[in-house]
């Protein structure tokens, strides 16, 4: 059974999407007429998720109100964590650790789930026996992303600029499947990235991190104006 719990990261400041984010949080910006976070929550709910953790930073009242209304309509339970100071991805995990006591998804709010199967990723995760799996796709030459390197077994052996070496370049898509036992390797810092203060620790302990290779329907980076407009004109 796929996880019943998800943690959707909505606390970014949306700086790269100004002026669109001056009055709305990034999570509520529409893609083909529907807020991007609603599209993600639709897919998570269809995959069996019944409880969702959400971190908030920019326009927290607006986002909390919109999500609470969505939850009432879809019978989805939310727990909110307001971050007056951004904690980064790893710090957000540590901040919510008391609620992460079962297998869960950790997903960026701007991930578009069209063409993606949470159930298939979960099956791959359970087959490989790792404590954490990252959704990735092959990187094309010249793409402006920080690559992760996968070895022949599909394991993450490098996050460029953070730890490791070798492997073929892939783009991380913003979706993690994590078992709660892995959280023992979180940094004790308050503010840190999930790669530097979590996955690097797992790797140093000799614990495998799996990559789940897939081809999403939309490959644009919704965190930029160029990618956001491209996604809206793609017809998804």
Buried b (16+ CB within 10 A) or exposed e, 44-79: bbebebebbbbbbbbbbeebbebbeebbeeeebebe
Q: Is 70 exceeded by the pLDDT of residue 224?
A: yes
- Please work out, in degrees rounded to the nearest 5, the angle formed at the alpha carbon of residue 189 by the alpha carbons of 27 and 17: 25
Average pLDDT over residues 215-230: 84
Q: List the CATH number of the domain containing 206.
A: 3.90.550.10
pLDDT in tens, 155-186: 999 999 999 999 999 999 999 999 999 999 99
Give the chain's domain count: 1
Q: What percent of the chain has pLDDT over 90?
A: 83
Percent share of the chain, pLDDT over 70 = 99
Q: How confident is the model at residue 29, as a pLDDT? A: 96
What local confidence, expressed as pLDDT, does residue 141 receive? 86
Give the range of the structural domain holding residue 43, as residue numbers without chain letter.
5-232
- CA distances 153 to 71, 198, 212, 213, 226, Å, are 39, 21, 11, 11, 34
């Amino acid at each position: 059974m796929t996880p019943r719990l998800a943690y959707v990261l909505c606390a970014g400041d949306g700086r790269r999407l100004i002026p669109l984010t001056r009055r709305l949080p990034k999570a509520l910006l529409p893609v083909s007429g529907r807020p991007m976070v609603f599209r993600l929550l639709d897919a998570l709910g269809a995959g069996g998720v019944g409880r969702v953790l959400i971190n908030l930073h920019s326009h927290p009242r607006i986002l909390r109100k919109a999500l609470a209304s969505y939850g009432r309509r879809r019978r989805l339970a939310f727990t909110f964590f307001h971050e007056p100071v951004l904690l980064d991805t790893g710090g957000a995990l540590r901040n919510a650790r008391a609620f992460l006591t079962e297998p869960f998804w950790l997903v960026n709010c701007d991930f578009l789930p069209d063409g993606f199967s949470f159930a298939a990723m979960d099956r791959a995760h359970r087959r490989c026996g790792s404590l954490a799996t990252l959704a990735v796709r092959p990187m094309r030459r010249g793409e402006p992303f920080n690559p992760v390197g996968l070895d022949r077994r599909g394991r993450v052996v490098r996050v460029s600029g953070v730890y490791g070496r070798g492997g073929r370049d892939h783009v991380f898509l913003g979706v993690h499947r994590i078992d709660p036992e892995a959280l023992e390797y979180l940094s004790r810092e308050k503010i840190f990235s999930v790669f530097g203060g979590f996955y690097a620790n797992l790797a140093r302990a000799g614990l495998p991190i799996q990559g789940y290779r897939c081809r999403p329907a939309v490959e644009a980076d919704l965190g930029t104006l160029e990618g956001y407009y491209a996604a809206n004109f793609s017809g998804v």
